[in-house]
Amino acid sequence: MNRKLMIRMVSLGLIICMGYLIFNLFVPQSPIKSISNTEVLTKAIFSDKVLTPLGDEGEYTYYITKHENGAFKQKVIDFMMSKDYSFLTQEGSGLFFEKEDKEVVLTTQMWTRKYVILKVPNID
């Protein structure tokens, strides 16, 4: 009886270790030092918002959204238009917006296959 219990405990420990290693190998690090990649992934999966705020770091606020075959770009444009910014252009991962002669550049980064991280300068 003790031998079976020992085998189950060791097996469970190995499964937990493998799960931890696989998770950390396939989920990139969080762009914000104060929030773990697990928290970022949890917010992304369980949020019902179009752009989910992750937090602030320095002069930037970070958001996460679903990639959805590039449809995230329109979500970002709509978000900025709601703050009275007009879309100018996209250059690489940067989206350029303008409001009253003030230009703002938002940068995007593919975080996983399904999610994009958005880095927004504090504009309010």
**Model confidence pLDDT, tens digit, residues 96-121:** 999 998 999 999 999 888 899 999 99
Residue 14 lies in a domain: no
Residue 15 lies in a domain: no
- 65: CB partners within 8 A, 6+ apart: 50, 51, 52, 72, 75, 76, 115, 116, 118
- pLDDT bin (cut points 50, 70, 90) of residue 1 is low
Q: Is the pLDDT of residue 14 over 70?
A: yes
Residue 38 lies in a domain: yes
The structural domain count of the chain equals 1
Query: 70: helix, coil or strand?
Result: helix
Residue 97 lies in a domain: yes
Please tell me the predicted confidence (pLDDT) of residue 93: 92
Please tell me the predicted confidence (pLDDT) of residue 68: 83
Residue 10 lies in a domain: no
Residue 20 lies in a domain: no
Q: Is the pLDDT of residue 71 over 90?
A: no
Q: Is the pLDDT of residue 95 over 90?
A: yes
Cα separation of 107 and 63, whole Å? 11
Please tell me the predicted confidence (pLDDT) of residue 26: 66
**Model confidence pLDDT, tens digit, residues 15-67:** 876 766 665 556 777 888 888 888 888 888 888 888 999 989 889 999 999 88
CATH number, domain of 116, equals 3.30.310
Residue 1 lies in a domain: no
Q: Which domain holds residue 83?
A: 28-121
Token pair in block for residue 21 = 């290693």
Please tell me the predicted confidence (pLDDT) of residue 65: 92
Residue 3 lies in a domain: no
